[in-house]
Structures are given as C-alpha cells and as structure tokens.
Structure 1
Amino acid sequence: MPRTLGVFDPGIEQDAFRRRRLPWEIALVLLVSVGQSAIYSVVAFVRAATRAPISQQQTQLNPSRSDEPFWDAVYQFLGIFFSLALVALAIYLLWEPADNALRRIGLDFRRFGSDVLRGLALVALIGVPGIGVYAVGRLLGQSITVVPAPLDSSWWVIALLVLAALRAGLTEEVIFLGYLFDRLRRIGWSWTTIIVATALLRGSYHLYQGWPSALGNVVMGLVFGWCYRRWGRVMPLVVAHTLIDVIAFVGYPLAAAWWPGVFAPPSPSPSPSATS
C-alpha cells in the first residue's frame, strides 16, 4: 500500500505567509505614519538640547504653510486630508472578508452616547493634568515653548484647528491602538507588552515638546491602552483625544494671554544684525 504524503492545505500556507508578512507590514505602516513622526520628534529634541537651554526654544503647533491666508488654508487642509489617508490605509489593512474593521476596533456610532461620556471622563482625567504637566515643565525650564496658531488671522482658522484636532485623534488612536494592538497581538505579543510599547512610542512622538510632555503622553498611552483593552472600542479615545487637542489648539492662545509667563513664548533675543 503506498505511503500517504502530507495533504497540502492552502489555508495553513496562507496563514503562515501572513504571519511572516505582518512584521514588515507593521514596520512600513509605522515608517509612513506615527513612527516617522516619532523619529523626527526625537531628532528635533536632540537638536534642541544641544543648541541652547530648552526653556529658551520654541516649537509651533500647526505652523503656517504660506504667507497668504487663502493658500495657507489650502495647504493646511491638504495636509489634514493626506494624514487621514494614512488612517484609512491602516483600517484597510485591518479589513478582512466578512469582518468589518471599523466595527472590530469600535470606530463606529453604535454606542456614541456612552463613547462621548467616556471620552469626557478621559478629558477630565488626562487633559487637565496634562496642562499641569506642561506648566510645571515650563516653570522648571524643561519644556519647549509651544507656539499655537493665532486665532485672529482668518475666519476659517478655528475650523481648520478643529479638523487638525480630529486628525490627531484619529491618527494616534486608530494607529496606536486599533491597528497596532491588532497586529502586535497576532504576532504573539502579550497585552502588557503591547500597552507599554505603544505608550512609549506615543511618548517619543511628542518628545519635540520636551521630556515632561513626552512623559505625560506615555502616561496617557498607558491609560488609553488599558481603556481600549477593557472597552474594545477606539471611539471614546478618539473623542477624548480630539477634545483635548481642540482645547489645546483653540484655548492655548487664551491661556497665553492669561498666564504669559508660562504659556506665552519668550521675547526673542535681538539678533546681531539688529544690534550692529
């Protein structure tokens, strides 16, 4: 009787191929999205730390792309659009036959009421202490001065800042949590390792603001990672992150007027050409 050979199973072969491919997919997604920004952020911090005292330096939130208000708005909108395309790419990669990726990561409106309530609770838990961390960092001279976009330049500025806040909420929460949690779990990482690793990546992503802000974002990443693991929904975290950034982008200029010693940028030193 002839010896029976192993039966070829295309499903097993396909699963093995996907497992081998996943680390490369993760690396490529990170290199064109939050990972790329984290690398630039670390380089910016190292450069800043070797040039002058951190307290004397500035970084801009949503910097202008053009001196002409209309074209600045066009470039800002295009920047937001292409950033959201990366979010769509991550969701596309998560999509599987008969498995809706948006529903799987909880980026839908099925529980919008409870998602908003949870988001508001996280704003109180994370957002308010985050402002305190930045203020303490500034008082200690360890945080770079963050210069916000002015609110009075054009009528559409606030709308663009809200869109920028939504972009940040979707980019970070969908990729850090929805995408990376799924992919790292599939290649065998433990939940604890995933939560800690993504929180550290989130912190490095914000290091350009100084180490206190980076540390605050690591804590935020740990809390958000635990919440996502418990709730299985990214929507409340997107809501919370978006609201925190709306407060930062729109409220920061108001805080600068109220507490200029901490939030307003320092007066620039006269340049050699100005004194000559």
Structure 2
Amino acid sequence: MTDNVADAGPTSGTLSRARIGWEICLVLAISVGQSAVYSLVALIRAALRTQSLGSQQAQLNPTLDNVAVWNVVYQLLDIFFSLALVGMVVYLLWEPGTNALRRMGLDFTRFGSDLGRGLLLAAVIGIPGLGLYAVGRMMGITVSVVASPLDAAWWTIPLLILSAIRAALTEEIIFIVYLRDRLERLGWGNWTIILSAAALRGAYHAYQGYGAIVGNFVMGVVFGWCYKRWGRVMPLVIAHTLLDTVAFVGYPLAAALWPGVFAPPK
C-alpha cells in the first residue's frame, strides 16, 4: 500500500487559486479585515447619532484596568497577541529555502538607507496628515481622536512606543506585504493591488471619521508604491512607527496647546 503524499495538499510555492482566496479571507477575518468591518460599523453608528462627528471622540490606547499594574499586564498581553497574528502571517509567507523576513525587507541589512527613507516618508505623510486632521475637525467630519491617556504615568511612554510598533508591523506586513504576495499570485495588477489595499486601510481607520479614511487611503497608496519600488518594508515600518509614536507620546502636549483641535470634546 502506497502513501499518497502528493494528495496531502499543495506546497507553499504552488498554492491553488481557491486555497489562496480562502487563506486571504481567513487572514483578513481574524486581523485587519475584522477591524475594518467594526470600524465601518462604528462610523455608521456615529453618523446616525444626533451629535455631529466633530463632537464625538475615539480612543486609540484606552486604559484596560483601573489598577496600574494590571493595566500594564493587560496592555502587554494585548500587544503580544496582536503581534502573534503578525507572526502567523509571516509564517504563511515563509517558503522552503527562503527567508521571509529578508525577502520582504524586514531586517537590518540596509538600516541606514531604510532609516533615511523612513524619516522622509514620515515627514511626507505626517505633516499633510496633521493638516488634514485639523481641517476635518474644523469641518466636523472627523471625530476627536484621543491618542493616549492625558494622565500619563512612568510606564505610559514605553507602552505607547510598543503600541506604535505593533500598529506599524500589523498594518504594513498585512496591508502591504501579505496582500501583495497573495494577490499577485491571483494575477492582480500592480495598481489594483495598491488601490485595494489602500481602500482597506482607509476602512480600517473609518471609526475616526471621513478625514481619516481619505488620509489613510493616500498613505496606503504612497506606501504601496514605495514597497513595489524599493522591495523593502522596513522603511514603511520605521515611518509608521515614528508617526504613531509622535502622535501617541505628543498627544497630551498637543491637547494642551491646541485644545480646540486635539482635546476631547467636553
């Protein structure tokens, strides 16, 4: 009696179109796709309220427990399990004889150039993004985003930096690297992939209002183009981490200096 080894399933290098499609659906359903659905529902619910969007708020890094030590524990666990999803996606991208991290450019072999590109991207995205947020707040189409607790403790900044790294790895590896790899195997064209991933990124941030959808869609287009051109995700991760770190850590100062734009509505 012979073993039908070939019937065990396709190898990672010869995935069938149906298997790739199901894999994409499942990955999105337990990660950024799930968040995008909840985000769109949150936007619809906010739009249906009698209050305008401008008078509502969204918290990005809420306190998870009133007792400080348990809040830290829960925050660290939340970050760990979020990164576990990223690890699963990297595992799916791993192929025999190749290093998935090196193939996607998530390593330190070109850290100098990656850092320079990351700083440039952070400036190109961050400065207009700040302006777009301010305009959205003045127009009442963007909610007040509470990026971090105003009553910061000694452990707040390290946790916020870890949250920024978590967000950067989650979004850039799934939106940019994973979707491009899988959708290219399905025969999708370059700009179809870039625009689709950017649209999903916009939906992922829809709970922040219409301005955030536009801003994150543009960010997704720029990041998608850069990844295709450079072949490395590290500059995108650096840029995203810098953007979120500045937003999270600098939020209390911004709320104090420009309460009309950044402080939560009373």
TM-score normalized with structure 2 length = 0.94
| Distance of aligned partners of 1:14 and 1:79 in 2 relative to their CA distance in 1, 3 Å threshold | closer
Deviation at 1:108, TM superposition (A): 0.7
> Per-residue displacement from partner, 1:34-73 (whole Å, max 9, x unpaired)?
0011001000000000012111111101111111111111
Query: 3-state DSSP class of the match of 2:145?
Result: strand
Deviation at 1:9, TM superposition (A): 11
Alignment-derived partner of residue 58 in structure 1: 57
Q: Over aligned residue pairs, what C-alpha RMSD do you find? A: 1.9
Contact 1:138 1:145 in 2 (8 A): yes
Alignment-derived partner of residue 265 in structure 1: 264
Matched, 1:90 2:89: yes
Alignment-derived partner of residue 33 in structure 1: 31
Instruction: List runs of 5+ in structure 2 lacking aligned partners.
Output: 1-5
Alignment-derived partner of residue 18 in structure 1: 16
Equivalent position amino acid for 2:168 in 1: G
Tell me the matched-pair count: 260
Instruction: List runs of 5+ in structure 1 lacking aligned partners.
Output: 1-7, 268-276
Deviation at 1:99, TM superposition (A): 1.1
CA distance in 2, matches of 1:36, 1:12: 27
Deviation at 1:12, TM superposition (A): 8.9
| Distance of aligned partners of 1:11 and 1:73 in 2 relative to their CA distance in 1, 3 Å threshold | closer
Equivalent position amino acid for 1:140 in 2: M
Matched, 1:121 2:120: yes
Deviation at 1:265, TM superposition (A): 1.1
| Distance of aligned partners of 1:145 and 1:14 in 2 relative to their CA distance in 1, 3 Å threshold | closer
Larger radius of gyration: 1
CA distance in 1, matches of 2:252, 2:221: 29
Equivalent position amino acid for 1:186 in 2: R
Alignment-derived partner of residue 198 in structure 1: 197
Contact 1:91 1:102 in 2 (8 A): yes
CA distance in 2, matches of 1:125, 1:14: 37
Deviates more, 1:111-120 or 1:51-60: 51-60
Deviation at 1:180, TM superposition (A): 0.7
Alignment-derived partner of residue 48 in structure 1: 46
Deviation at 1:16, TM superposition (A): 6.2
Contact 1:151 1:250 in 2 (8 A): no
Alignment-derived partner of residue 176 in structure 1: 175
CA distance in 2, matches of 1:16, 1:165: 35
CA distance in 1, matches of 2:120, 2:14: 42
TM-score normalized with structure 1 length = 0.90
Deviates more, 1:23-32 or 1:8-17: 8-17
| Distance of aligned partners of 1:93 and 1:266 in 2 relative to their CA distance in 1, 3 Å threshold | same
Query: 3-state DSSP class of the match of 2:122?
Result: helix
Equivalent position amino acid for 2:46 in 1: A
Report runs of 4+ in structure 1 exceeding 4 Å deviation.
Answer: 8-17
CA distance in 2, matches of 1:237, 1:186: 23
Equivalent position amino acid for 1:262 in 2: V
Deviation at 1:113, TM superposition (A): 0.6
> Per-residue displacement from partner, 1:73-118 (whole Å, max 9, x unpaired)?
1101100000000100000000010011111111111101100000
- Percent identical: 62
